Amino acid sequence: MANDIPATPDASSSLAASGRRVFEIEARGLDAVAARIDGAFSAACELILAGRGRVVCTGMGKSGHIARKIAATLASTGTPAFYVHPGEAGHGDLGMITDADVLLALSYSGESDEVLMLLPVLKRQGNRLVAMTGRAASTLAREADVHLDVSVPTEACPLDLAPTSSTTASLAMGDALAVALLEARGFTADDFARSHPAGTLGRRLLLHIADVMHAGDEVPKVRETARLSEALVEMSRKRLGMTAIVDGQDRLLGLFTDGDLRRTLDDDHADLRNTLIAEVMTHAPKTIAPDRLAVEAAQLMEAHKINALLVVDEERRVVGALNIHDLLRARVV
């Protein structure tokens, strides 16, 4: 089959050159649009910031795909937004748009019939319009409260037909709006995590020690009067590779781990049955509070080359325990 014939060196070189040319053309297009970031851009941001509702993004064809992505980026960075297909809007989905919403309409020609059809209804409803087009003299640009010019010198398509440079420019303009609005709102990493609870950042910023630790009867602990053999039974039963040593009020006195056990076994004079746990425990072990972030536990374990932590309250009472496997299961590390 023809597809199975490997490309010749000359053909490969030509393909690579075509790819590089696209990057060069689109980079020039982005430079041209960036040079036009001015008062209109600021006005668009101010209009959106003053809005009482959401940003409704719309567009047909390739512009519609870009509008959908812009809506997703806005929504995840502190500006409530959603995408409406202009064709569906003309058949009932206009009911999703309230008079408090701002419309962000994309059409490189500025003459998309499906988009223009919506304008009379939305204008009558009182919606403000930000248009993103490649023609300042187009109908959509003239009807807009704010027009953002995303015209590019040429498409990367050698036929100058397929939207390439123009869609890249529109996408970059949408990103510019999202970032400018993010900064204006004082949007933080914590805010971002709250809208991405299933993502890695969300888990790292929202998950606390209390969410992943073992608590209650699952926490391995023995009194300071216990013998080493009793501590080993407790460690085996709770399966965390350690046990806390506490006083009568559950206040932490020390810790005994699998590592401590190995060191004890190296001592020829150790009596596993009769040695008191207080004689072989680690004094002043590393601990963490239940209200700290789970990622802090991972950082503490890594810094001190340990695999487990006891969780204590303000009075040094042992309230929980966790090990590296708990953090792995929670996908914190």
Annotated binding residue 85: yes
- Non-local CB neighbours of 24 within 8 Å, separated by 6+ positions: none
Task: Provide the sign of the torsion angle of the four alpha carbons 249, 250, 252, 257, taken in this order.
Answer: positive
> Encoding tokens for residue 224?
């300071």
**Residue 105, SS3?**
strand
Buried b (16+ CB within 10 A) or exposed e, 219-247: bbbbeeebbbebbbebbeebebbbbbbbe
Buried b (16+ CB within 10 A) or exposed e, 188-206: eeebbbeeeeeeeebbbbb
211 pairs with which residues across the strands? none
209 burial type by CB count under 10 A (0-12 exposed, 13-18 middle, 19+ buried)? buried
Buried b (16+ CB within 10 A) or exposed e, 275-291: bbbbebbbeebebbeee
Task: With CA atoms as reference, report the closest residue to 213 among 159, 314, 97, 293.
Answer: 293
Asked whether 175 and 43 are in contact (CB, 8 A), the reply is no
- Strand order of the β-sheet with 146-149 is 81-83, 55-59, 102-106, 128-133, 146-149
Which regions of 151-241 does DSSP assign to beta strands (E)? 221-223
DSSP H helical ranges for 214-276: 228-238, 258-265
- Non-local CB neighbours of 82 within 8 Å, separated by 6+ positions: 54, 56, 57, 71, 75, 96
User: Which segments are annotated as binding site?
Assistant: 85
User: Which segments are annotated as binding site for Zn(2+)?
Assistant: 85
